[in-house]
Amino acid sequence: MKVLVTGGTGFVGSHLVRCLIGYENSVVCLVRPTSRLDNLESLPTTLRQGDLTDLNSVREAVKGCRMVFHCAADYRLWCPSPEEMFRVNVAGTDNLMRACFDEGVERVVYTSTVGCLGKYVEGVPADEDTPARLADMLSPYKKSKFLAQVNVLGWANRGLPVVIVNPSTPVGEMDLKPTPTGKMIVDFLRGKMFGYVDSGMNLIDVRDVAEGHWLAAQRGSPGQKYILGNVNLTLKEIFDRLGVIANISAPNWRIPYWIALLYAKGENFWSGELLHREPTAPLEGVKMSQSKMWFDSSKAVQKLGLPQRPIEKALERAVRWFREKGYASLS
């Protein structure tokens, strides 16, 4: 079956491409002329150059595809030009949904994020039905993904057979950029983590996220959301696991939130405002760490059959890959 993947050069997207090939699909990837193709090297894919913000190139990529997986997104915690992020994440997503609707695509899977879902009281995992408002979104990225998800649900109401998946925090190999979570692991491996804040997140093996996309296409209900997650861990628990895997002492100093916030504000002003370079501790990321970002993925496990492989194996692969690729020392 011929399928289209956007964002196939990225972390989640490249694992999805491998998953789809494993199920004997013919994969077309929409790529920008400037995209790094390392993650697709030697894979039997067809590359179509284009841009989500160009409706004509999107239409050309969609033609003849029975399924479309929309993984592409502008994902940054520090964004000096939010309008560009909204152009890609909101308008670009709308272009793709329009093209899929016009071409009669049989199934669309849209990659959203748990970041645009709501939160319950501290320590209670949120689910797909937790109330959320645009005003609750703390960063341009979350706001753009929230608005894009609202638009996608609108297309579902118009009859587009689109299923939404909300990955939590994927970990594993091939995180080229790396993502903010990958950067956290790299900083840990480089000995740059001197402490931790009382925060937490839901981790999942990136391979399970890829499998979850395929399962959503096969078993998901149009217009429904499915959290692709696994285990809820505090930041201290994550560092402790990384410490055992990498044979590095995990930080034991719990940093009060107000100190982390004060540092981030100062560093963001110095690096972002004055030097125009990405801060080491983006302010929006620190703000998000004020509460534990825990989620309940039981709906995807029960309805889709989402795999729940041990997260330690994914962390092991991530550590090994980052070291082998020179992101961090092998010592």
Residue 227 corresponds to which tokens in the numbers above? 């959290």
pLDDT at 146: 94
Task: Evaluate whether residue 247 is within a structural domain.
Answer: no
Residue 210, domain CATH: 3.40.50.720
Number of domain units in the chain: 1
Residue 232 has pLDDT above 90, yes or no: yes
Task: Evaluate whether residue 274 is within a structural domain.
Answer: no
> In this structure, which long-range contacts are made by residues 51-58, counting pairs with CB atoms below 8 Å and at least 24 apart in sequence?
51/92, 52/6, 52/88, 52/91, 52/92, 52/93, 52/95, 52/96, 53/87, 53/88, 53/91, 53/92, 53/95, 54/95, 55/95, 55/98, 55/99, 57/30, 58/30, 58/95, 58/96, 58/99
pLDDT at 34: 87
Task: Evaluate whether residue 50 is within a structural domain.
Answer: yes
Residue 283 has pLDDT above 80, yes or no: no
Bigger pLDDT: 302 vs 75: 302
Cα 114 from chain centre: 9
Task: Evaluate whether residue 121 is within a structural domain.
Answer: yes
Highest mean pLDDT range out of 14-23, 141-150, 198-207, 265-274? 14-23
Per-residue pLDDT band at 84 (split at 50, 70, 90): confident
pLDDT at 120: 65
Task: Evaluate whether residue 262 is within a structural domain.
Answer: no
Bigger pLDDT: 194 vs 292: 194
Q: What is the mean pLDDT of the chain?
A: 89
Task: Evaluate whether residue 159 is within a structural domain.
Answer: yes
Query: How much is the pTM?
Result: 0.92
Per-residue pLDDT band at 265 (split at 50, 70, 90): low
Tens of pLDDT, residues 2-28: 999 999 999 999 999 999 999 999 999
Residue 78 has pLDDT above 60, yes or no: no
Residue 174 corresponds to which tokens in the numbers above? 């091939």
Identified catalytic residue from 23, 75, 110, 141? 141
Domain encompassing residue 30: 2-175+203-231+294-310
Q: Which of 233, 86, 261 minimizes the C-alpha distance to 168? A: 233
Report, as an integer, the average pLDDT of 236-256: 90
Task: Evaluate whether residue 94 is within a structural domain.
Answer: yes
Per-residue pLDDT band at 272 (split at 50, 70, 90): low
Task: Evaluate whether residue 318 is within a structural domain.
Answer: no
Report, as an integer, the average pLDDT of 116-139: 83
Tens of pLDDT, residues 291-324: 778 999 999 999 999 999 999 999 999 999 999 9
Annotated active-site residue 141? The verdict is yes
